Structure 1
Amino acid sequence: MPRCVVTDIEGTTSAIAFVKETLFPFVERALDGFLAKNAGDPAVAAILDEVRALAPGQDPADALRGWMARDEKVTPLKALQGMIWRQGFEAGALRGHLWPDVAGCLRAWAAAGIALRIYSSGSVEAQRLLFGHTEAGDLTPLLSGFDDTRTGPKREAASYAAIARTAGLPPAEVLFLSDVVEELDAAEAAGMMTCQLVRAADGTVAGTRHPSCATFPEVAARFGLPAPDEPPAG
């Protein structure tokens, strides 16, 4: 049984459509007003300096919109999105989507003493907001760590090795869940166990090299993890 489960968000715990059709449009609508109101904030100013360095000669708002339209995993974009989403979550305008099978398994695994971590291209700020304001309640107390692109690219083995070190475990005792085969390849190269989440509603296509499951309870059954209706082990 894994001693730690690291999970992706988009396409794994949450619908791809939630990100594309709810979170991204929320930022698109709020971006100009947010920048006008907060441009003097040191944290926002630092992000805008990063944007200018990466897109010289381009208006920062235009660069941010272009990256978002192409779903590019650019760190200053992800950081700014997290700030804007915070306003939406705290105002009740946003609620974090999770597939119905996720929360019960996370609770059961945490109760069994299994460390739970999130690794997503979305910023740590955004991850905390999503899991802190889900339809199933605040799940952040279950989670022992969060990693984003500051840890490293999701398709590089070194990123997963770094996560295992932070968790204080050998990679072989860590299970990584994602819908993206290239991410699973990188985690496997680092020595982790892997499982692809193949959500029919997201149109995910199963690869051939990694175990695949349609739901978190299937993951539990395949890797010896407790199911939601089972008492915690030990």
Structure 2
Amino acid sequence: MPIKAILTDIEGTTSAVSFVFDVLFPYAREHLPAYIRSHAGEPAVAAQLEAVRGESGEADADIERVIEILLGWIASDRKATSLKALQGMVWAQGYRAGQLKGHVYPDAVAALREWKAQGYALYVYSSGSIQAQQLIFGCSEAGDLTPLFSGHFDTTSGHKREVASYQRIAEAIGVPAVEVLFLSDVVEELDAAQQAGMRVCGLGRDGGALGEHETVASFAQIDPRRY
């Protein structure tokens, strides 16, 4: 059956991992404390702070303690949905101020534009929040790429190494899993998507194989018609 939808990871796939770890995370670490102190009373922020208290098991944590918890989570790259949401808010401020520009590999930009023109439905699945995804692509060095995508998925759909997450996404897209091509640079994610019935292709930008999965070094080497 031909591919109808393409689901792509971000870090290490469309975008350099270094952008996240060397640019976005340090920006969040630097600006998150002041942002929380200034916006803690806003409903959207307050809800995420309560979620941090719940996940950390510290229901009575004050603002300064919550900030301390979040900074610890950033340092350990914890995949907490509340942290991702708060980071997204901080990054949004940075993008609006022109202090941040999203990195997307030129080969990814070219391929995504071509696939969109060819009629493929394009989706993103990343551990970063949907807001953070939209910021990377919406304020990218190549301009606003958000019109290319039909939808975004994050950890609210489940963790990226769990088969059920990809089953949920296929259902949400409304396309049989076998008609979805998933792109990632992580073996366990490719394994889970494949077990869910999706076709997969690994991005090994620095060379090397990703388990037994077909692995390419560039989006330019991917032809969805072959799957």
What TM-score do you get using the length of structure 2 for normalisation? 0.94
| TM-aligned CA deviation for residue 83 of structure 1 | 0.4
* 1:199 CA displacement: 1.1
| 1:64 is aligned to 2:78 | no
Given the alignment of the two structures, is residue 176 of structure 1 paired with residue 182 of structure 2, yes or no? Answer: yes
Which residue identity is paired with 1:153?
Answer: H
Give 1:158-173 correspondences, 5 Å limit: 158-173=164-179
Counterpart in the other structure of 1:54 = 55
Give 1:65's aligned amino acid.
L
- 1:34 is matched with which residue? 35
2-side partners of 1:109 and 1:183: how far apart? 22
Report deviation, 1:66: 1.0
Check conservation: 2:187, 2:211, Cα contact below 8 A.
no
2:219 is aligned with 1:219: no
Partner amino acid, structure 2, of 1:127: Q
> Which residue number in structure 2 is paired with residue 21 of structure 1?
22
Structure 1 stretches of at least 4 aligned residues deviating more than 3 Å after TM superposition: none
Partner SS state of residue 150, structure 1:
helix
| Offset from partner CA, 1:182-231 (integer Å, 9 cap, x none) | 0011000100001110011xxx74223211010001112xx337xxxxxx
Amino acid paired to 1:5: I
- Pick aligned residue for 2:131 from 113, 125, 128: 125
Paired residue for 1:231? none
Q: How does 1:88-167 map to 2 (within 5 A)?
A: 88-167=94-173
SS of residue paired to 2:156: coil
Report which stretch shifted further, 111-120 or 207-216: 207-216
CA contact 2:122–2:151 (8 Å) conserved in 1: yes
Looking at structure 2, the residues matched to 5 and 42 of structure 1 have their Cα atoms a distance apart, in angstroms, of 35
Report whether the alignment pairs 1:79 with 2:85.
yes
Distance in 2 (alpha carbons) for counterparts of 1:188 and 1:135 = 32
Which residues of structure 2 form unaligned runs of 5+? none
How far is the alpha carbon of 1:97 from its aligned partner?
A: 0.1
Specify the alignment match of 1:230 in structure 2: none
Q: What is the number of residues matched between the two proteins?
A: 220
**Counterpart-to-counterpart distance in 2, 1:145 and 1:46:** 24
Structure 1: gaps (5+ residues): 226-234
Q: Deviations over 1:157-195 (max 9, x none)?
A: 111011111111110000000000000110001000011
The CA RMSD measured in Å over matched residues stands at 1.2
Which residue, out of 209, 213, 224, partners 1:206?
Answer: 209
* Counterpart position of 1:12: 13
SS, match of residue 35 in structure 2: helix
Q: Distance in 2 between matches of 1:24 and 1:31?
A: 10
CA distance in structure 2 between the aligned counterparts of 1:63 and 1:195, rounded to whole angstroms: 36
Per the alignment, residue 194 of structure 1 pairs with 200
1:36 is displaced (CA, Å) by 1.0
Separation in 2, partners of 1:128, 1:70: 24
TM-fit CA distance, 1:31: 1.1
